[in-house]
Amino acid sequence: MRLLTDHEQDHRFSDEIDKLTGYKTKSLLCMPIHNSDGEVIGVAQAINKSPNGALFTEDDEKVLQMYLPFCGIAISNAQLFAASRKEYDRSRALLEVVNDLFEEQTDLEKIVRKIMHRAQTLLKCERCSVQLLEDIESPVVKFTKSFELLSPKCSADMENSFKDSLDKSSYSDWLINNSIAELVASTGLPVNISDAYQDPRFDAEADQLSGFHIRSVLCVPIWNSNHQIIGVAQVLNRLDGKPFDDADQRLFEAFVIFCGLGINNTIMYDQVKKSWAKQSVALDVLSYHATCSKTEVDKFKAANIPLVCELGIDKLSFDDFSLDVDAMVTAALRMFMELGMVQKFKIDYETLCRWLLTVRKNYRMVLYHNWRHAFNVCQCMFSMLTTAGFQETLTEMETLALIVGCICHDLDHRGTNNAFQAKTGSALSLLYGTSATLEHHHFNHAVMILQSEGHNIFSNLSSNEYGELMQLLKQSILATDLTLYFQNRNSFFELVNKGEYNWNVKEHRDMCRSMLMTACDLGAVTKPWEISCKVAELVTSEFFEQGDRERSELKLTPSAIFDRNRKDELPGLQLEWIDGICAPLYETFAKLNPKLQPMVDLIKANRAKWEELHHRHQRSQETASPGSPHNVDVTASSCSCAGTSDSSPFQSVS
């Protein structure tokens, strides 16, 4: 366009810009800039030819027209160079992603964190999240793990916006189960939302929970090498405020391909580790254990089984050391018969003898968590059931699960607790990967014995009964993890104290059975002092052996309960154990059934003994000269029953 006359006489000119800037346009020459394909890629404009007042001529137009093709070439080249540079940067970033992902394949959380950090860097967004599916084979979309990374500013803003922990929990639930992520996981198609609040697929609840304003969303599926969706990756809000464009989506999809491979490799590596751990544990078990001999089975099958009154197993104050290893087997047989389980469940008597003998053989020769402890826990359960009449309230199936659970609850115990398994990275901790490592192992070991030929005492149950019983058995054994006790006890105590406990409510019964398992596992604290103190010696000796290993193998200083050099502190710890853990449990059972009050009375008597030892120790400290050894021998005054669970509360001292 060339204004041949004064611009004010040309209808194509608008003076709006002049009015805004104060500039006076007198003449103007404007021509298009073409690329090599003849496409218009811009315009060139010349304003106000000199000298003042002169107009652009046809010669000027020809000169500019000759110049502009070179200008078009230069601009095209610059654009191509910029695009090439951008593509180079993106390709390099993807190569760095590949390097990151395959450099770290041993820790899922680490690799996902790297993924999110790279995604934020590549796409320059405010937030990134990754959700992994619980079961890639299931048609139902359910995420089991969610990870999120926020820019520093967003992280601070969201922390300030959450009102309380409930908001955080609700937001976390939304993050895992939001509808866009579920849609992408179910369809396998990416979702790119430029304006979230105008899109019906977006749920604004998250913004309400977190105070964060979501503008745009880009969510794509994560695939494994078998073209199965294993999760979704999601980015929110470009930093420049613009929506995610097609180039962003293509880049993100390419990026997520490598992410899927990295995550899949990490999951496979974890599975290989678990397989190795499983094999290692199995070989260890097989090398140590064997089933009982036919001679042993025949011996007990033909033996006369003493009556309950002759064995004394119905007494709450039963002497844990009154029976030898064989007598404990016959006493266990008597408990099964006395409770009517042999008849009710048509348990083959020879199979029962074989099962009990093999269970006994599968307890290691450790100082405390051995066959005697398993039997004593079972005896405590038997005496509580019969004394309080619980076996008349519980179903026969529940009673059977409790008795079998007590006998099996510490199978293949190694004399060290869950914390030690985790610290040493043992095969057990790698296999189960949970705080209740040993409890899961005890249950699985019980299942292994039941599945061995000639050992299935539940063989005459229907498939439904068998399934129900195994669930009850698992609950019983896992209940000996004190972590579960701490989670449930306040609810149980409150129900009983308010008189609201109801045997007809399933949740109440489940809770009560778990509390019964704990009460029996810790039952030595309710025995007469001579018995309780002797148990304390065994517990402490086993704990000290673990402490010695922590010091020698792990180069750690063990906590007081495991440190033989601090044995003089044990009476004080035992008082804390009784007051904080044991007494409230047995007092609650006594309220539920007053016939169990003798257990509370014996705890109080034992507590007085521990307190006497504690005061004696304190007096010795006050009178001892600096640097001199204490003169109170409390070697036998360890924390009675502190070790009856694999998750002793004294671990918190560590």
The residues annotated as belonging to the active site are 369
How many residues does the structure list for the chain?
654
Other beta carbons within 10 Å of 215: 16
If you ran DSSP here, which 8-state letter would residue 580 be given? Answer: I
What three-state secondary structure class fits 230? Answer: strand
How far is the C-alpha of 389 from the C-alpha of 403, rounded, in Å?
15
DSSP 8-state symbol, 579: I
Q: Is residue 31 within 8 Å of 42, Cβ to Cβ?
A: no
- Give the pair of three-digit tokens for residue 648: 């002793």
DSSP 243: P
Q: State which H helix or E strand residue 574 sits in.
A: helix 570-577
Q: Is 269 left (phi over 0), alpha (psi -120 to 50) or beta?
A: alpha
* SS (HEC) of 278-324: HHHHHHHHHHHCCCCCHHHHHHHHHCCCCCHHHHCCCCCCCCCCCCC
CA distances from 101 to 111, 231, 316 (A): 6, 16, 60
Find out whether 391 and 565 touch, Cβ atoms under 8 Å: no
Residue 144: what are its φ and ψ, rounded to 5°? -105, -25
- Pair 126, 150: CB distance under 8 Å: yes
How many C-beta atoms lie closer than 10 Å to residue 311's C-beta? 21
C-alpha dihedral, 599 to 600 to 604 to 605, nearest 10°: -30
- The residue type at 457: I
d(CA 552, CA 400): 43
Which one, of 417, 413, 431, 449, lies nearest residue 291 by Cα? 449
Per DSSP, what are the bridge partners of residue 129? 148, 234
Distances (CA, A) of 591 to 33, 506, 559, 597: 94, 20, 35, 8
254 sits in which H/E element? helix 246-288
Is 191 within 8 Å of 180 (Cβ atoms)? yes
Specify whether the CB–CB gap between 180 and 126 falls below 8 A. Answer: no
Please answer whether residues 232 and 220 qualify as being in contact, where contact means their C-beta atoms are separated by less than 8 angstroms. Answer: yes
Rounded to whole angstroms, how far apart are CA atoms 595 and 378?
A: 19
DSSP string, 410-456: TTT--SS-HHHHHHHT-HHHHHH-STTHHHHHHHHHHHHHHHSTT--
For residue 507, the surrounding DSSP H or E stretch is helix 506-521
Are 336 and 351 contacting, i.e. CB atoms less than 8 angstroms apart?
Answer: no
Instruction: Check residue 80 and report its DSSP letter.
Output: H
Task: Residue 211: name the closest of 163, 161, 259, 171 by CA.
Answer: 161
